[in-house]
Amino acid sequence: MRLLPIASLPGMTTLPCMIANKLLAGRNAVLRRFGTSDHPPATVPMVDLDRYLGTWFEVARLPNLEADGFGRRCVNVTATYTRRPDGLIGVQTVSDNAAARMRRSEVNGTARPVNPGGSKLLLTFYYVVRGDHWIVGLDPDYRWSLVGTPSRRRLWLMSRTPRLDPAAFDHAMAVALAQGYDPARVRPTPQTVSA
């Protein structure tokens, strides 16, 4: 999207032009930092959701408010996917808050595929909180999965084991970079549990 400078619009005086240009500059800085959904990342073409079911360990993520804000520092994060009788996928996310003496929290929700390949999931928690979780990278043997949002503000590297070998981690970060995410901002998620 190309925007004209505010000063070139008819009828704009200098002070409102300066204020509007500052606001646009701030908006553009936010878009540069967090990405834009004008060109969303590509998802993997096909996900066998039955193979995807089970427990995944979060081994790394882009920092986000839910896990890293408001006095939280989530560690030992897992997501467990199960098939439900109503056809939806149950999602149970469990984590410990290292900033609150390892207080455990559990959030339950549902997921449903919104594309034929099953790589775009719509997650719902508490019946009203919804989020897109797109599978943008997936190991052929389903050992790791790279899940992001179309805005590129969130990214999670999930693994079937609490730790991922360095070669697989580097490969996943190369996929993230190719999809327009910033791997330099990705932080490891401590896992003190064993598989």
- Looking at residue 57, its pLDDT comes to 98
Residue 194 lies in a domain: no
Mean per-residue pLDDT, 15-26: 42
Residue 13 lies in a domain: yes
Query: What is the Cα–Cα distance from 118 to 52, expressed in whole angstroms?
Result: 10
Does the pLDDT value for residue 166 go beyond 70?
A: yes
Which pLDDT tens digit goes with each residue over 152-163? 999 999 999 999
Number of domains making up the chain: 2
Which pLDDT tens digit goes with each residue over 104-123? 999 999 999 999 999 999 99
Residue 41 lies in a domain: no
End-to-end CA distance of the chain: 47
Look at phi and psi of residue 47 and say left if phi exceeds 0, alpha if psi is from -120 to 50, else beta.
beta
- Looking at residue 195, its pLDDT comes to 56
**pTM to 2 decimal places:** 0.79
Domain extent for 26: 1-34
Residue 40 lies in a domain: no
Assess whether 5 and 55 both reside in one domain.
no
Does the pLDDT value for residue 17 go beyond 70?
A: no
CB atoms within 10 A of CB 97: 17
Confidence of residue 194 (pLDDT cuts 50, 70, 90): low
